[in-house]
Amino acid sequence: MIDDTVARTQVVEAADQLFYAHGVQAVGMDAVRTAAGVSLKRIYSLFPSKDALVAAVLERRRAQWNAGIAASAARAATVREKILAVFDFLDAWFREADFNGCAFINAYGELHDGNPDVTRTVREQKAAFQRYVADLVRDAGAPEPLAAQIAILAEGAQTTAAIAGTPEAAGQARAAAEVLIDAALA
Amino acid sequence: MIDDTVARTQVVEAADQLFYAHGVQAVGMDAVRTAAGVSLKRIYSLFPSKDALVAAVLERRRAQWNAGIAASAARAATVREKILAVFDFLDAWFREADFNGCAFINAYGELHDGNPDVTRTVREQKAAFQRYVADLVRDAGAPEPLAAQIAILAEGAQTTAAIAGTPEAAGQARAAAEVLIDAALA
DNA sequence: TACGATAGAGAACGGTCGTTCTCAATGCAA
DNA sequence: TTGCATTGAGAACGACCGTTCTCTATCGTA
């Protein structure tokens, strides 16, 4: 038998890919079992319900998002560039073959009604991102309202790129962010 | 028996409200029947399938969006104000009690996988909005890239307001749009 | 080698959904 | 009034889903 940790990772990764590509409700637990190569019994011993699996998938997405943003920011020299690094991260993400919009937004739209945990998780994820941007804006010495504007650009770029099926929204949002930052610091 | 047109309107309005509040997949045709006061047999004589009803609901949303944007723009004196009127429209919408994000984005996230019609409809709706903004930007004599930036702000405001559950994203996006317009015209 | 615990495969169960069908009631034509 | 077409209400059907259960095979241990 494979290790619990390994099995758990396989299940979450398979579920993430399927949920993200097809939507949570469109994917049955049988499909997760087949993709993960882990028996249903095992899956239900690792996660008490499909909702718990969804929560684990969102937690994985949260860690990936934070790591990606941090790595992109680490390549930036100035605070201004760290803010813009958000859009560089988005640009690279939008160009990935399986990009299909923000998993949190998708999950919220699909599940907010019957799953309060999802609503709370998504709301917290977005709030955390806004705090991250707000910290950078403060470090840059710019007025506070800039933070919300940058966050809105990032959200809009994600849905625009997802629906249009093209990545250029990242660059467009980045250009707008540059103008807003410069205006705020002037 | 009530008129076909009246029955159709009742069904679409009831379905719209239920789909928007709870998600399409979470609402059964029985619930639509009860809310609309129209028998299942009648519903299926008006719409060949649930997918067709979803298409009719999205068409209704499209007309409402266009009418709302046009009415808001009609109250504006200058081209610059017509662009900003988009965010005034969003502000009023975000404050409605049942606001729950953009119905097109929600439908896309939930149904894009198994319903290509939805994908096409949503993509076309967003493209039409971008053309609308692009026309205003051209009339204002501003460079073309401003249009995409305004559209991204509008998209981001919708998802931000929906997830946060508060309406202030409209004003924040409007302030950002003002800065971008002024910078583009300078 | 014999045995008991455990795992995987998948059948089974209860529920729900989209769609169709039944059947009694209604309204209209002659 | 009689007969017929049509309607609404809701039962019925087939499919699918989340979850649990059964059964067989396997593995570690003595």
Summarize pLDDT for A72-120 with one digit per residue, the tens: 999 999 999 999 999 999 999 999 999 999 999 999 999 988 889 999 9
Strand D proximal to A51 Cβ, under 7 A? yes
Q: Would you place residue B5 in the very low, low, confident or very high pLDDT band (cuts 50, 70, 90)?
A: confident
Chain A residue closest in CA terms to B176: A149
Q: Do A13 and A82 fall into the same domain?
A: no
- Closest CB to A173 among B152, B158, B179: B152
- The domain in which residue A91 lies consists of 57-185
Question: Which A residues 121-160 touch B at CB under 8 Å?
Answer: 122-123, 126-127, 145, 148-149, 151-160
- Please enumerate, as own/partner, the contacts of B73-82 that have beta carbons within 8 Å and a separation of 24 or more: B79/B136, B79/B139, B79/B140, B80/B140, B80/B181, B80/B185, B82/B136
Task: Identify from B149, B158, B172, B174 which residue to disrupt to test chain A contact, counting A C-beta atoms within 10 A and taking the largest count.
Answer: B149
Q: Do A84 and A43 fall into the same domain?
A: no
Q: Does residue A87 belong to any structural domain of this protein?
A: yes
The whole-angstrom separation of Cα A90 and Cα A167 is 9
Q: Do A74 and A139 fall into the same domain?
A: yes
* pLDDT of the residue at A114: 84
Q: Do A163 and A130 fall into the same domain?
A: yes
Q: Do B11 and B43 fall into the same domain?
A: yes
Task: Identify from A159, A174, A179 which residue to disrupt to test chain B contact, counting B C-beta atoms within 10 A and taking the largest count.
Answer: A159
Model confidence pLDDT, tens digit, residues B28-47? 999 999 999 999 999 999 99
Report CA torsion sign: A127, A129, A133, A135: positive
Q: By three-state DSSP, how is residue B112 classified?
A: coil
Q: Do A40 and A114 fall into the same domain?
A: no
* pLDDT of the residue at B83: 98
The whole-angstrom separation of Cα A15 and Cα B121 is 28
- The tokens describing B20, both together, are 């928007």
- The tokens describing A17, both together, are 């890919």
Q: Do B88 and B141 fall into the same domain?
A: yes
Query: Does A108 touch chain B if contact means CB atoms closer than 8 Å?
Result: yes
**10 Å Cβ neighbour count for B49?**
10
Q: Does residue A24 belong to any structural domain of this protein?
A: yes
Averaged pLDDT of chain B: 96
